[in-house]
Structure 1
Amino acid sequence: MTVTRVYLVDDNDGFRDSTAWLLETAGFEVESFASGAAFLEAYAGNRHGDASECLVSDIRMPEMSGLQLQDELGRRGIQLPLVFVTAHGDVPLAVEAMRKGASNFLEKPFSEQALVDALRTALANARNRGSGGGMANELLAKLSPRERQVLDLVVASKPNKIIADILGISIKTVELHRANMMGKLGVRSLPELMKVALGHG
């Protein structure tokens, strides 16, 4: 079984240590960094990320913010599933990060289960995009690009209001996309939708 490596970037020593311990307890291999620059220096530049690696980063840090780190990864062609952790006041920044392709964001303080679930979902999404999900991929191919965006945000456990903010559309339009999407995928409940979205349909 592949060990999943999580790269943890946060300038708060106490938070970094406790989160690394929590993730190691949950079975992840963890490498911690006090800054985005330190992570970029350690992460081999010729790697493009694989299905067993994920990045967890704070949004607001001195020198290089989480958003700047995200931009730099994009410039270098490094495609790591990215989960942001953020204080309540940083939610607009986190919404911007998801517009740019982050997998999820969690508001501090969050539960151990919320972080583990966010990481597993981000990794499953990355795997599903990178390889054929068989029947699930055939179903997903029926979705419009906008419906696919809505689906990714539903899978990331975002409520309709946040989805509307991220995509710049009304809550009613989000609800319409959700209804159309579920019809096209032939599912009637959120658990069924998650199974198809994560390639288990």
Structure 2
Amino acid sequence: MATDVRVHLVDDNTPFRDSTAWLLETAGFEVHAYPSGPAFLAEWPSRRRGDGAECVVSDIRMPEMSGLQLQDTLRRQGCNVPLVFVTAHGDVPLAVEAMRKGASNFLEKPFSDDALLDSIRNAVAGARARGDGAVDSEVLAKLSPRERQVLDLVVASKPNKVIADILGISIKTVELHRANMMAKLGVRSLPELMKVALGHG
């Protein structure tokens, strides 16, 4: 899937931006790198694919425009491109807020190459599944709004503790929602759940 996916990389740290762009290009992604949110937004209209085969990877704390401000700007423009945030440990509360606002994932620095590549692939697959209606609407209709939220976060590879923090509920409540959700979807394992959620079931 990587070869037909465009990644927009937004980070003010030049060494990190250069090394990450090289990693993504080596993995087969088409990469456009930007030193700031405004620089990305200036180029975005001409580089946007609009077919679900793209992803924005952005630092969450930058001097000119934060990742959250970039996210808000895109949403105001009616753009639902999947967003993956990278963040330092102290920025995790900001990243949690970003997830509440619909970000696909966040990764704490330092993270492994595979973690970033998997996050991008999952983000794009999730966006395509939503765009294509890949998940049977009748199946999703069985889920409560909270179970849908838990499903999205499980697909984003978030552990129960992080899901609890993002949704403001207890870990036990998350476990209960996960159990109910899996029962309603007729799956018994996380791999089965991922297949159904991403439209490959």
Query: TM-score, normalization: structure 2?
Result: 0.95
Question: 1:153 & 1:184 partners in 2: Cα distance?
Answer: 17
Partner of 1:111: 112
Question: 1:34 & 1:46 partners in 2: Cα distance?
Answer: 16
Partner of 2:171: 171
Partner of 1:183: 183
Counterpart amino acid of residue 196 in structure 1 = V
Question: 1:50 & 1:70 partners in 2: Cα distance?
Answer: 19
Partner of 1:81: 82
SS at match of 1:126: helix
Do 1:137 and 1:199's aligned partners in 2 also have CA atoms closer than 8 Å? no
Give the root-mean-square deviation of aligned CA atoms. Answer: 1.7
CA offset digits 1:32-66 (Å, max 9, x no partner)? 00000000000118968331111000000001000
Change (3 A) 1:29 1:48: closer
The runs of at least 4 aligned residues of structure 1 exceeding 2 Å deviation read 45-50, 136-141
Alpha-carbon distance, 1:74 to partner: 0.9
Alpha-carbon distance, 1:13 to partner: 0.3
SS at match of 1:199: coil
Question: 2:70 & 2:50 partners in 1: Cα distance?
Answer: 15
Alpha-carbon distance, 1:142 to partner: 1.6
Question: 1:172 & 1:83 partners in 2: Cα distance?
Answer: 27
Q: 5+ unaligned residues in a row in structure 1: which ranges?
A: none
Partner of 2:130: 129
Give the paired residue count. Answer: 200
Question: 2:176 & 2:85 partners in 1: Cα distance?
Answer: 28
Alpha-carbon distance, 1:132 to partner: 2.5
The yes-or-no answer on 1:153 pairing with 2:153 is yes
Partner of 1:90: 91
Do 1:5 and 1:28's aligned partners in 2 also have CA atoms closer than 8 Å? yes
Identity %: 79
Alpha-carbon distance, 1:92 to partner: 0.6
Do 1:6 and 1:53's aligned partners in 2 also have CA atoms closer than 8 Å? yes
Question: 1:49 & 1:168 partners in 2: Cα distance?
Answer: 33
Question: 1:137 & 1:33 partners in 2: Cα distance?
Answer: 37
Question: 1:200 & 1:61 partners in 2: Cα distance?
Answer: 37
The yes-or-no answer on 1:44 pairing with 2:45 is yes
Do 1:59 and 1:90's aligned partners in 2 also have CA atoms closer than 8 Å? yes
Question: 1:28 & 1:66 partners in 2: Cα distance?
Answer: 22
